Structure 1
Amino acid sequence: MPPSRGASALTCLTGLPQVALVQWTESVGLTLVNRDLTSMQLRTPSGQILTYCILQTFPFTSESKRMGVIVRDESTAEITFYMKGADVAMSTVVQYNDWLEEECGNMAREGLRTLVVAKRALTDEQYQDFENRYNQAKLSIHDRTLKVAAVVESLEREMELLCLTGVEDQLQTDVRPTLEMLRNAGLKVCLKYYEHEFVELACQCPAVVCCRCGPTQKAHIVKLLQQHTGRRTCAIGDGGNDVSMIQAADCGIGIEGKEGRQASLAADFSVSQFKHIGRLLVVHGRSSYKRSAALSQFVMHRGLIISTMQAVFSSVFYFASVPLYQGFLMVGPCSCTVEVCSWWCRVPRVTSLLSSRYATVYTMFPVFSLVLDQDVKPEMAMLYPELYKDLTKVRPQLGIKGENGGRSLSCKTFLVWVLISIYQGGILMFGALVLFESEFVHVVAISFTALILTELLMVALTVRTWHWLMAVAELLSLGCYVASLAFLNQYFDVPFIMTVTFVWKVSAITVVSCLPLYVLKYLKRKLSPPSYSKLSS
């Protein structure tokens, strides 16, 4: 229930249980009026104000799993040490009782977050002795942390058990459907709520639960899974104690919750609700992976195909150091050999613009437009999370199988694109050398025009769902090349470009370089269609 009074005092509290307890005490008449670093004020149901002076505070740590405070009642001058923490940590410091363990178990079975509260009255002499030892420990140069912890533990003995609290930590909406979606997508879920770390169990079971783990232990579990399975891990958390785990994982997702934004600030991705994780992974994650794979493969193909053409060109002319399409940095005096100079120097030196424009103006927009491609609609990816399994690499040694054998970017796909680049580069260069007639400048015009058309057609054949910006990118690139021919008429044989001979030669080379690949792609889709094509059909 939201606080009606003392709302400013709640800003000094951290964590859901603390806020819930303060709000509950207010509902029964005991209100927290003010809380700062040195004092605290409470209002009783009768309206009396109780003022306490805060003498010492002992913050929560993942190792001790408890926190405490020493206060002095201003009206009675009584000094009291209060402590609260997890039942496993408090059961050893409170006086013997026969109900704590049973009641903790009952609350835990109801899904409540339990806290044990205890106190110990201190005399002035006891507190002065503690304060002296505590200050000396904090001034120690060696083993300061251990000495401070030992002094504090001297107070944690035979404490009076006050109460056991249980706070309901409700799940966010659609948590169960989201977990089912991730399971259907082939992702294994590990909820960290149990003490023991069973790596074998984590590898064999679809879900593993670990509890009462500190930040270091959570990060250690993530590293164990990475080392023993070799798989990518994704850590999801909403609190400050999840930061180490999130940073240790390959991918960290932070949820902005009531316990602050530490997790979301330390994570790679931040969401407001747990239910958004499903869409983040099966829609955006899947699309981002496939688009990045296509983009990287085309960037590699764009550079390798022109390198193949250069290699073929150099081999024909006895490996002379003559570039086919010169770059900006290679503009200068002629460096051709005597045998080749009579051929090459007929091509003006400003053809150095070609290779640079090929990678920027002529082919950049279509290649980068692949980031807009999608094989299925987001609604379909959410409805069939099994499509995410297509991204899984086949690993027989771990018993992990991808549905269609693999990832969009792997050594296999890299080799395929290398072979495609070599094939197309060889066809383009050999075709231009075979079909040109008397002028060597025709080789540059034929090969470069066929190269531009081949790259544009390859992008078009790869697209699965056309976006209007993709069509604009294709037409814009083709228009830029045609327009540049008019501006570079002194660098091309314009009368030859306007002839039917030039058109059919360029068309023939382009068809030979692209048509076999299209036929192979068509046969593959017919004989072994991907999962998304089955859904679309």
Structure 2
Amino acid sequence: MTPIKNTEKVGFSYNQLADPKFAFYDHSLVEAVKLSDVPTHRFFWLLSLCHTVMPEERRKPHYFFSCMSGNLVYQVQSPDEGALITAARNFGFVFQARTLETITVVEMGETKIYKLLAILDFNNVSFLFLFLVVRSPEGDLTLYCKGADTILYELLHSSCDSLKEETTEHLNEFAGEGLRTLVVAYKNLDEDYFQDWIRRHHEASTALEGWEDKLSELYEDIGKGLMLLGATATEDKLQDRVPQSIETLAKAHIKIWVLTGDKQETAVNIGYSCNLLNEDMEDVFIIEGSTSDDVLNELRNARKKMKPESFLDSDEINIQFEKSSKKQKFYLMSKQMGSAHIGVGISGQEGMQAILSSDDFFAQFHYLQHLLLVHGRWSYIRMCKFLKYFFYKNFAFTLVHFWYGFFSGFSAQIVYDEWFIMIPK
């Protein structure tokens, strides 16, 4: 949060485990925490419980981002989780320990142990970032969930409509500033229903066929009727010299694609901040369809506009807009623009997936500029000279043996010694 001029910083003297470097200026939120406001406390309960963070006292291992506050070190797989768990800690909801079956949280100085009953990390079927069911020390069953607003909004209870409208306004404001947003929600569960759901979950997870679709249906079923708590927004800073590097690569007529799961406003804002988009661009198209048919038509029109001379309606006849064909539609459109042959990952704080999927990787994005425009150019020149030399050498070598065949009766006898072909010159 940007500090307001002449506003005093909030004191966290009530929380002995707060980070002394943490600066916050919204006194109303802190007062709500002190007054034990139930929605506010439940919001921070969710942040302290709904995550995959591991607390440790030792130093961070390689390839993991460490979020350290006081003497407790959080090992997280992304800075977003680190920011949210640290925020909950500073407000008095300290995630302290985790086992396979329990989560320990210090809530306003009181230690509580929650029993972990079910957990679903982010996957390509549900598109929920995280979903878990815990039993509180008082015995209450609660489902906590955080994820994209486009998915969670479809699961909300009708009583959340007014809060949903207000939250949407905040999300649009956050996205316009280039912040990464998440929606958080919860649901109280009935004991009998949950036991039946656990049984069906076990059957689906052990099924030999179609287990992904069955699990997706189960998570959608238990998620119906969620109660909206609010939203979070975190800043995703670019690495140094990223805008300058992208601008230079664009001047070299190198095609650049950016795939993101952020809101459209966030993606556009980041696109301008990193010089991927600029005011001089013409014919910028944005896919805004709300149905499968609308998106399909917009992609078809965009592809036709890129290269109308190579567009064939016959390519689209048998394509149905399903999960597999979405990838096929995007592949067809990207093929018009040119496909990549070598994948280079960036080992940033969220770069593990890119590293695992790439052919090579390095630490900073701006290294790519030197790799392509300097070493890439040198490699291209070396390869051209080598191929040119290799072609003429083999042509001369083969032509001599061809003529010699008339004198040797085509007996495969060679003119030169075998080692001659290995000599560069």
Q: Once the 2 structures are TM-superposed, how far is the Cα of residue 262 of structure 1 from its aligned partner? A: 3.1
Task: Decide which of 281, 286, 302 is 2:377's aligned counterpart.
Answer: 286
Distance of aligned partners of 1:154 and 1:166 in 2 relative to their CA distance in 1, 3 Å threshold: same
Q: Once the 2 structures are TM-superposed, how far is the Cα of residue 80 of structure 1 from its aligned partner? A: 0.4
Q: Would you say 1:228 and 2:336 are equivalent positions? A: yes
Q: Once the 2 structures are TM-superposed, how far is the Cα of residue 20 of structure 1 from its aligned partner? A: 1.4
Task: Decide which of 208, 211, 219 is 1:152's aligned counterpart.
Answer: 219
Q: Once the 2 structures are TM-superposed, how far is the Cα of residue 222 of structure 1 from its aligned partner? A: 6.2
Instruction: Describe the SS at the equivalent of 1:223.
Output: helix
Instruction: Describe the SS at the equivalent of 2:232.
Output: strand
The residue number in structure 1 matching 2:394 is 303
What is the one-letter code of the residue matched to 1:223? Y
Instruction: Describe the SS at the equivalent of 2:122.
Output: coil
Q: Once the 2 structures are TM-superposed, how far is the Cα of residue 49 of structure 1 from its aligned partner? A: 0.9
Instruction: Describe the SS at the equivalent of 2:103.
Output: strand
Q: Which structure has the bigger radius of gyration? A: 1
Q: Once the 2 structures are TM-superposed, how far is the Cα of residue 326 of structure 1 from its aligned partner? A: 5.5
Q: Structure 1: how far apart are the matches of 2:375 and 2:390?
A: 22
Distance of aligned partners of 1:85 and 1:203 in 2 relative to their CA distance in 1, 3 Å threshold: farther
| Alignment TM-score, normalising by the size of structure 1 | 0.52
Instruction: Describe the SS at the equivalent of 2:407.
Output: coil
After the TM superposition, which residues 79-478 of structure 1 pair with which residues of structure 2 at under 5 Å, given as runs? Answer: 79-95=141-157, 96-97=161-162, 98-193=165-260, 197=299, 198-200=302-304, 220=328, 223-225=331-333, 227-229=335-337, 231=338, 233-234=339-340, 250-312=341-403, 319-321=406-408, 327=414, 354-360=416-422, 363-364=423-424, 456=425
Whichever structure has more strand as a proportion of its residues is: 2
What is the one-letter code of the residue matched to 2:141? I
Whether the 8 Å contact between 1:31 and 1:44 is mirrored in structure 2 is: yes
Greater length-normalized contact order (CA 8 Å, ≥ 6 residues apart) = 2
The residue number in structure 2 matching 1:210 is none
Distance of aligned partners of 1:287 and 1:36 in 2 relative to their CA distance in 1, 3 Å threshold: farther
Instruction: Describe the SS at the equivalent of 1:158.
Output: coil
Q: Once the 2 structures are TM-superposed, how far is the Cα of residue 273 of structure 1 from its aligned partner? A: 0.9
What is the one-letter code of the residue matched to 1:135? H
Q: Structure 2: how far apart are the matches of 1:268 and 1:255?
A: 11
Task: Decide which of 97, 110, 113 is 1:51's aligned counterpart.
Answer: 113
Q: Would you say 1:40 and 2:127 are equivalent positions? A: no
Runs of 4+ off more than 4 Å: 5-8, 194-197, 200-204, 215-222, 322-327
Q: Once the 2 structures are TM-superposed, how far is the Cα of residue 25 of structure 1 from its aligned partner? A: 1.6
Whether the 8 Å contact between 2:306 and 2:336 is mirrored in structure 1 is: no
1:445-495 Cα distance to aligned partner (Å, 9 max, x none):
xxxxxxxxxxx5xxxxxxxxxxxxxxxxxxxxxxxxxxxxxxxxxxxxxxx
Q: Structure 2: how far apart are the matches of 1:157 and 1:253?
A: 41
Q: Structure 1: how far apart are the matches of 2:348 and 2:155?
A: 32
Distance of aligned partners of 1:168 and 1:271 in 2 relative to their CA distance in 1, 3 Å threshold: same
Q: Structure 2: how far apart are the matches of 1:60 and 1:108?
A: 21
| Alignment TM-score, normalising by the size of structure 2 | 0.64
Q: Structure 1: how far apart are the matches of 2:98 and 2:329?
A: 38
Whether the 8 Å contact between 1:325 and 1:355 is mirrored in structure 2 is: no
Q: Structure 2: how far apart are the matches of 1:69 and 1:14?
A: 18
Alignment RMSD: 3.0
Q: Once the 2 structures are TM-superposed, how far is the Cα of residue 128 of structure 1 from its aligned partner? A: 1.6
What is the one-letter code of the residue matched to 1:52? Y
The residue number in structure 2 matching 1:4 is 69
Distance of aligned partners of 1:72 and 1:85 in 2 relative to their CA distance in 1, 3 Å threshold: same
In structure 1, runs of 5+ residues without a counterpart are: 205-214, 235-249, 328-351, 365-455, 457-537
Instruction: Describe the SS at the equivalent of 1:191.
Output: coil
What is the one-letter code of the residue matched to 1:33? Q
What is the one-letter code of the residue matched to 2:126? S
Q: Once the 2 structures are TM-superposed, how far is the Cα of residue 269 of structure 1 from its aligned partner? A: 2.1
In structure 2, runs of 5+ residues without a counterpart are: 1-21, 23-66, 265-286, 288-294, 309-322
Whether the 8 Å contact between 2:345 and 2:351 is mirrored in structure 1 is: no
Whichever structure has more helix as a proportion of its residues is: 1
- Between 299-308 and 136-145, the greater mean CA deviation after superposition: 136-145
Whether the 8 Å contact between 2:155 and 2:226 is mirrored in structure 1 is: yes
What is the one-letter code of the residue matched to 2:146? K
Whether the 8 Å contact between 1:192 and 1:218 is mirrored in structure 2 is: no
Distance of aligned partners of 1:40 and 1:355 in 2 relative to their CA distance in 1, 3 Å threshold: same
Instruction: Describe the SS at the equivalent of 1:18.
Output: helix
Distance of aligned partners of 1:15 and 1:30 in 2 relative to their CA distance in 1, 3 Å threshold: same
What is the one-letter code of the residue matched to 2:211? R
Q: Once the 2 structures are TM-superposed, how far is the Cα of residue 82 of structure 1 from its aligned partner? A: 0.4
Q: Structure 2: how far apart are the matches of 1:146 and 1:290?
A: 51
Whether the 8 Å contact between 1:69 and 1:81 is mirrored in structure 2 is: yes
Q: Structure 2: how far apart are the matches of 1:171 and 1:203?
A: 33
Instruction: Describe the SS at the equivalent of 1:101.
Output: helix
